[in-house]
Amino acid sequence: MHDDILKWRVGDATITSVPESSDPTSPKFMFSAIDKDGVLDLRMKSPWLAPFVGEKGHLLQKIHCCVIDTGRERIAVDTCVGNDKERGNPLWHEQQGPFLDRLSDAGYAPDSITHVVCTHLHVDHVGWNTRLVDGEWVPTFPNAEYIFVGVEFDHWSNTEDLFGDPVFEDSVAPIKDAGLANLVGSDHEIGDFVSFESTPGHTPGHISVRIESGGQRAIITGDMAHSPIQIANPELSSSFDTDPDMARSTRFEAFARWADGQTLVIGTHFGTPTAGTMHVDGDGYRLETSP
């Protein structure tokens, strides 16, 4: 199994993180209000940030897919960037990465996935929805129900991608055309353990995913928070937020719910260790990760 594959147990459910890539990121790529020096100052004030911040102020981030295994459902949450996609970002353009092999090595062959959930429809959350076969984009997970929030689907079906890439055309529309798409509300539930929390602002229909079992709870954040620095300072909104003010309000409201010291918060772009419990810390919060 790949060294960076992480697992968490939540009652009778298992959540497995399968990474596609892991790269230090300049804070200026993500945020207009903080630079590397500002990140280093924040790390000094909040020492718990050390695993998530490089020595020169880079953000240590990853792109990964979380598979929720309830024993009945196998739910792939956010499908990364994908291979063979035409993208403006040179790191993502026509990738030829081993993600599907890693997924299978973790015990989740594509044809065993029962559901695919996209927290939102940005480029790095939908890519492996499809793969290229004989020049056509076909569903990667042929036996899965792909679940999209209707508001989110409608928005991106009529809105150009942030970078002008054909994301909807190659990674979302083919799912609808194949009859595998289910457009739902932002309070949707899957089985007994999994439900959505509406966390808009980054995009209009953005959701986080809640897993509850055996008296335990976990949250997969999506991009309502891109980096743990936003846990330390929830005021920080990403340059990629559709509505930065709504995203900020969403963070404060969600973090107040999640900061009970027991809920496992799994960051969709947080570098390893990726998850921890959230606690009130001054005007912000901190994430306590396992040793």
Q: pLDDT digit string (tens) for 189-232?
A: 999 999 999 999 999 999 999 999 999 999 999 999 999 999 99
In the chain, the domains with their CATH numbers are: 6-288 (3.60.15.10)
The whole-number pLDDT of residue 39 equals 98
Q: Tell me, what DSSP letter sits at residue 112?
A: G
E-assigned strand segments in the chain: 6-10, 13-25, 59-69, 74-77, 115-117, 130-133, 136-139, 145-149, 181-184, 189-190, 194-198, 207-213, 216-220, 264-266, 275-281, 284-288
The whole-number pLDDT of residue 199 equals 98
Give the end-to-end CA distance of the chain in Å, rounded to a whole number: 21
The whole-number pLDDT of residue 291 equals 55
List the alpha helices (DSSP H) in 129-241: 150-157, 167-171, 173-177, 229-232
Query: Which residue shows structure tokens 């953000």?
Result: 59
The whole-number pLDDT of residue 162 equals 83
The whole-number pLDDT of residue 1 equals 41
- Segments in the chain below pLDDT 70: 1-3, 291
Q: What is the pTM of this model?
A: 0.97
